Structure 1
Amino acid sequence: MKPTIRPATFTDLDRLMEIFEAARRFMESTGNPNQWINGYPQRELIAEEINQEHCYVCQDEEGKTIGTFCFVPSPDPNYARIEDGVWLNDAPYHVIHRLASDGSEKGIFKACIDWCALQDTNLRADTHADNKVMQHLLEKNGFIRCGIIYVSNGTPRIAYQRKG
């Protein structure tokens, strides 16, 4: 399977919310019940990401949307301060946020990361300490654990960077 990546549109919004719900269930089932709580990511946030042209969809060979992620150019204000480590460099970067799939296909993470690496070789991401699946996928795909950052609600996340 070779998925395709395209910018999300407002007509994708209902499907994206279904994918985020599937991802929340998966995270709960794998020991990560606290990362995406209280309906996060909210529909309004994703609509704003679409409006800013930061949200992308991953489609299977039949054109069904099976994954999504946000790809945001630097600077990310949450990444301005890092504890217990340092970033690999201070060069401009893109952040990968809210990467999720509906679980129907394997390889969505790699397809999304490979697409992102074609756009910018300096990539950053973060994840919850309980999200062992995402930590494994990031490290398996060349990301280096750099330290701890805090997201807008004040909770810590493990910060990663990959430079090409």
Structure 2
Amino acid sequence: MAHNNNVEFRKARMSDKDIIWEIIQQSIERRRINGSSQWQNGYPNEQTVESDISKNFGYVLTIDNRVAVYVALIFNDEPAYSSIEGAWLTNGEFVVIHRVAVSEEFSGQGLVKKLFDYIEEFVKSENVASIKVDTNFDNPAMLKILETKGYVYCGEVYLAGGIRKAFEKVLM
């Protein structure tokens, strides 16, 4: 990626909804082709995106004002995380990362790693010390990113009809 590109991390707007939904559909299809069971049961869907944006959970990473990556960031609210087979590192406030999706047009450029940097800065700026995230066993790309970014495997959670690997990173 050229260094003169203008990269911005911001809240998603309702006007971004169609492009975000398109990007999520690309991710659903990519997972299907890669043989992953994640996101193959009608979730997330267009309503999920609309709900994320209206609740201020939706964020985008834009390159030259074009949406490249989508993510939902949810403060202190993931009921599934209250029962973990294992143990979280902390019991205080946290932010949950959900629904990371990269546009086909920008895939393979390391943008998810960049996204995680922006998320960590943002979460720290909100004075929240911990990020929690889960992913499928069969999502090697995300598992690799979590490992690279220093997320600690905490155990398993049951979410959206399946067992997920749960991770946490303590920021401060």
TM-score when scaled to structure 2? 0.87
1:57/1:65 contact within 8 Å kept: yes
Separation of aligned partners in 2, 1:163 and 1:89 = 8
1:19 to partner: Cα distance: 0.4
Matches within 5 A, 1:122-161: 122-151=130-159, 153-161=160-168
- The amino acid across from 1:122 in the alignment is S
Q: Does 1:76 align with 2:78?
A: yes
- SS for the counterpart of 1:19 is helix
1:132 CA displacement: 1.1
SS of equivalent residue, structure 2 residue 105: coil
Aligned to 2:126: none
What amino acid maps onto 1:82 in structure 2?
I
Give the C-alpha shift of residue 57 in structure 1.
1.1
Deviations 1:92-143 (A, max 9, x none): 1000000110133312212221111112241010001111111111111111
| 2:99 is equivalent to residue 98 of structure 1 | yes
What is the one-letter code of the residue matched to 1:104?
E
> 8 Å contact 2:52–2:58 — kept in the other structure?
yes
> Residue 57 of structure 1 contacts residue 66 of structure 1 at CA under 8 Å; is this kept in 2?
yes
User: 1:89 is matched with which residue?
Assistant: 90
TM (norm. structure 1) is 0.91
Tell me what 1:9 maps to. Answer: 13
SS of alignment partner, residue 104 of structure 2: coil
Question: Structure 2, unaligned stretches of length 5 or more?
Answer: 124-128
* Cα shift at 1:52: 0.6
Contact 1:3 1:108 in 2 (8 A): no
Which residue number corresponds to residue 44 of structure 1? 47
Contact (CA 8 Å) 1:147, 1:160: kept in 2 or not?
yes
Q: Which residue of 2 aligns with 1:63?
A: 65
Moved more, 38-47 or 63-72: 38-47
Larger displacement relative to structure 2 (35-44 or 93-102): 35-44
Q: Judge conservation of contact 1:124–1:161 (CA < 8 Å) in 2.
A: yes
Matched pairs, number = 160
Ranges in structure 1 where 5+ consecutive residues have no aligned partner: none
Deviations 1:132-158 (A, max 9, x none): 11111111111111100011x331110
Give the letter aligned to residue 142 of structure 2: M
The one-letter code of the counterpart of 2:70 is T
Write the letter of the residue equivalent to 1:123.
I
Q: Secondary structure at the match of 2:117?
A: helix
